Structure formats: structure tokens, C-alpha cells
């Protein structure tokens, strides 16, 4: 721990994203003065490593945030709705990974490569966007700045880790059952996920879209600060453990060639271009697993619309899509002396 560092708490520390938040704080050498690990009562007694020391997990209660400057939340919407305001009233800056606060007008929704300045407008709570939205806007930001974007059509292929540890276990167990001739069981997903995929992430709404799809629509407009962008999303769950993939088609305001788009992306923060399909170079989830960059390939003309481009975008959904993005927001606050 650093003597004059930031007093940090991780809420939901024992979950997949919370656990990774702890690791990312260490990897990025965030100046942690003290670290409090918070979770539900059933996790009390567990320990988690940080910088070579085993730290105890404490129960999340209303007075958990005394003397805490920064709280990274990854504990579900209902927990965030209850405890994030408590933390904010105690003077803690909350960076929340749930969907509880994303569309609140006075809560900034931040992707550091896209709208870092928004983080400085907070009133105690900052929202981390949906994982599938994050990687899409990281890839589209340089193109939006250069040529404007009128319309986005996106289909996602989302890994099971986006649902949590139990979903990973369900996929692994189903694969083992099928390979060994047993009938696979399911508790987490509405359909078998092993050797399958289904366009069902979150509840379906009255307009026929799923909740996940509408998150991408609404969050994209809020992050870009542009309500004119038309977005149509289809979100699909696939039998991959880590790494969301997205097929994205955009219609730009001004003409933009694939060559220019490729050059812009090669110079964009947080982006790595892998775009030589003739030689087998294009991103896949295994390329993205465990890294923070958003990978972009298959950049080409979309001939179905004027000023159309198509691309393939892949990122680790629990790193850039959750834990890393949250820590990057904290780094913006640190740089601007907001603790």
C-alpha cells in the first residue's frame, strides 16, 4: 500500500468482475493507500490477494464507506441502487458497473477513450457503460470524429462471462455432459448454451428488442452526446468464455474509405488493428482474452448504403468491458486531482 495513496473499496469483490478490478488496480499501479474488499455476508471469512498480501473480505453495510475516497462497484443493480447513494453521501466517489445509473441524466456515462471529460461532471456517482457498448464506441470514436455517424447496425456475439461465474460453470458443465453422453442441465440460461447460440440477452421489451439491445441504443447516444444517431442492435449469446465479438455496419455523414478508417483506428487510443484477412489476420475472442485493447478487423465498404463501412470488433468483456474501464475512469479523476 502507498502511504499517501487513495483509500479504495471494491464492492462485489468476490465476483468475476470485482476480482478482476482488484487485479487491474495492481496491474496499472493505481496508487492505493488502503483497500477494502466488500461483499455479501456469505463471503465474510474469505481473503483475496493484492500486492502479495491476503486481504479479508468484509460485509457490505451502510457504514462501510467511512474514510473511503473511491469505491468500484460490481455487485448488481439492486445493490448499487441501495449503497451507491450511501457511499456518495459519505464523500466517496462511486464508479458503478451495473445498469442502475447509466441513463440517469445527472450521472455521467464514461468511456475514457471517448468522453473522458464527462467523468469530471459527476455528483458522486459515475456509471460504467454496458460491456458491448464500450468496445463498440471505442472503435467508432475516431470514425465519428472524422466523418460523423448517421446510423449503426450492430450484431453482438457475447461471451458467457458477461453473465458471471455461474454461467461460465454452466457452459463448462454442459460441454462435459454432452461429451460424456449425458443430458446437459441448465439453471442460468433459457436455452442450452454449449454448442449453441441464442439471440436472448436480458428480458424482451414491448418493442420486440431485448433489454441488452436497447442498452446499446441508448448508451451509445448518451456517450457520444448525439441523440440523432440511429442504432439497431441484435445481441446474441455464444459459447465463448471470454471476449465479445461484434459485427458493425455504419453509415457516415461524409465519405470515409476503408484505408482512411484503418489509418484513424491505428492511431486511436485503446485500439489495435488486425486487418489482413487474406493472410488470416483478423481478431477472434481468444486474441482479446486477457488484454485491454479493443481489436478491429475486416474493415471494408458496406455497398448496401451510401457512405457505408463494415467492420469486426472484439474485446475482453470483463477487462475493457468492465474492470479496466472502471479503473481508467479512476485514473482520470486522479490525474485531475478529484480525490
Contact assessment for residue 57 and residue 75, using Cβ atoms and an 8 Å cutoff: no
Residue 301 reports pLDDT greater than 90: yes
Contact assessment for residue 251 and residue 149, using Cβ atoms and an 8 Å cutoff: yes
Q: Which of 122, 200, 232, 244 is catalytic?
A: 244
For the segment 278-293, the average pLDDT, to the nearest whole number, is 97
Model confidence band, residue 4 (pLDDT cutoffs 50, 70, 90): confident
Active site residue 244: yes
Interval 40-87: pLDDT, tens: 999 999 999 999 999 999 999 999 999 999 999 999 899 999 999 999
Interval 139-159: pLDDT, tens: 999 999 999 999 999 999 999
Q: Partners of 38 in the beta sheet?
A: 11, 58
The architecture CATH gives domain 6-129+322-335: 3-Layer(aba) Sandwich (3.40)
pLDDT at 89: 97
pLDDT at 71: 98
pLDDT cut 90: percent of the chain above it: 97
Interval 196-211: pLDDT, tens: 999 999 999 999 999 9
pTM, two decimals, is 0.96
Rounded distance, CA 187 to CA 246, Å? Answer: 26
Rounded distance, CA 225 to CA 35, Å? Answer: 34
Rounded distance, CA 195 to CA 198, Å? Answer: 11
Q: What is the CB neighbour count within 10 angstroms for residue 316?
A: 28
For the segment 213-233, the average pLDDT, to the nearest whole number, is 98
Residue 2 reports pLDDT greater than 90: no
299 SS3 class = strand
Model confidence band, residue 339 (pLDDT cutoffs 50, 70, 90): confident
DSSP-derived pairing of the beta strands 70-73 and 6-11? parallel
Active site residue 232: no
168 SS3 class = helix
pLDDT at 31: 97
Q: Which of 122, 131, 232, 281 is catalytic?
A: 131
Length of the chain: 339
Tell me how many degrees the CA angle 301-294-50 measures, rounded to the nearest 5. Answer: 175
- Lookup: cell for 206: 414491448
* C-alpha R_g of the chain: 20
Domain segments of the chain: what residues?
Answer: 6-129+322-335, 133-317
pLDDT at 1: 78
Q: Where are the beta strands (DSSP E) in 260-330?
A: 271-273, 294-301, 308-315
- Lookup: cell for 82: 441501495
For the segment 291-314, the average pLDDT, to the nearest whole number, is 98
Model confidence band, residue 3 (pLDDT cutoffs 50, 70, 90): confident
Q: Which fold has domain 133-317?
A: Dihydrodipicolinate Reductase; domain 2 (3.30.360)
pLDDT at 212: 97
Rounded distance, CA 222 to CA 243, Å? Answer: 24
pLDDT cut 70: percent of the chain above it: 100
Q: Where are the beta strands (DSSP E) in the chain?
A: 6-11, 32-39, 47-50, 53-59, 70-73, 93-96, 125-127, 149-158, 230-237, 244-252, 271-273, 294-301, 308-315
Tell me the average pLDDT of the chain: 97
- Helix residue spans in 225-270 (DSSP H): 258-266
Contact assessment for residue 83 and residue 77, using Cβ atoms and an 8 Å cutoff: no
Amino acid at each position: 500500500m502507498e502511504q499517501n495513496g487513495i483509500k479504495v473499496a471494491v464492492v462485489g469483490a468476490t465476483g468475476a468482475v470485482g476480482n478482476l478490478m482488484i487485479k487491474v488496480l495492481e496491474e496499472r499501479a493505481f496508487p492505493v493507500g488502503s483497500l477494502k474488499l466488500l461483499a455479501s455476508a456469505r463471503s465474510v471469512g474469505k481473503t483475496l490477494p493484492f500486492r502479495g498480501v491476503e486481504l479479508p473480505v468484509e460485509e457490505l453495510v451502510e457504514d462501510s464507506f467511512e474514510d473511503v475516497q473511491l469505491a468500484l462497484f460490481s455487485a448488481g443493480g439492486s445493490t448499487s441502487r441501495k449503497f451507491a447513494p450511501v457511499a456518495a453521501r459519505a464523500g466517496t466517489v462511486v464508479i458503478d458497473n451495473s445498469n442502475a445509473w447509466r441513463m440517469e441524466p445527472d450521472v455521467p456515462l464514461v468511456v475514457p477513450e471517448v468522453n473522458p471529460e464527462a467523468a469530471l461532471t459527476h455528483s458522486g456517482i459515475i456509471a460504467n457503460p454496458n460491456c458491448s457498448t464500450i468496445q463498440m464506441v471505442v472503435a467508432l470514436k475516431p470514425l465519428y470524429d472524422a466523418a460523423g455517424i448517421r446510423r449503426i447496425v450492430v450484431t453482438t456475439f457475447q461471451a458467457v462471462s458477461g453473465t458471471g461465474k455461474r454461467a461460465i460453470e454452466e457452459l463448462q458443465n454442459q460441454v462435459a455432459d454432452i461429451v460424456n453422453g449425458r443430458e446437459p442441465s441448465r439453471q442460468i440460461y433459457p436455452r442450452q448454451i454449449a454448442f449453441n447460440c441464442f439471440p436472448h440477452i436480458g428480458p424482451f421489451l414491448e418493442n420486440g428488442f431485448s433489454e441488452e439491445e436497447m442498452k446499446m441504443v441508448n448508451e451509445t447516444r448518451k456517450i457520444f452526446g448525439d441523440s440523432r444517431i440511429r442504432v439497431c442492435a441484435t445481441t446474441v449469446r455464444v459459447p465463448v468464455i471470454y471476449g465479445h465479438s461484434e459485427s458493425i455496419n455504419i453509415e457516415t455523414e461524409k465519405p470515409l474509405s476503408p484505408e482512411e478508417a484503418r489509418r484513424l483506428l491505428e492511431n486511436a487510443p485503446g485500439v489495435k488493428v488486425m486487418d489482413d484477412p487474406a493472410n488470416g489476420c483478423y481478431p477472434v475472442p481468444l486474441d482479446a482474452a486477457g488484454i485491454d485493447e479493443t481489436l478491429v478487423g475486416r474493415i471494408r465498404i458496406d455497398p448496401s448504403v451510401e457512405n457505408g463501412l463494415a467492420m469486426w470488433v472484439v474485446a475482453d468483456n470483463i477487462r475493457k468491458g468492465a474492470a479496466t474501464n472502471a479503473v481508467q475512469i479512476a485514473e482520470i479523476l486522479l490525474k485531475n486531482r478529484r480525490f
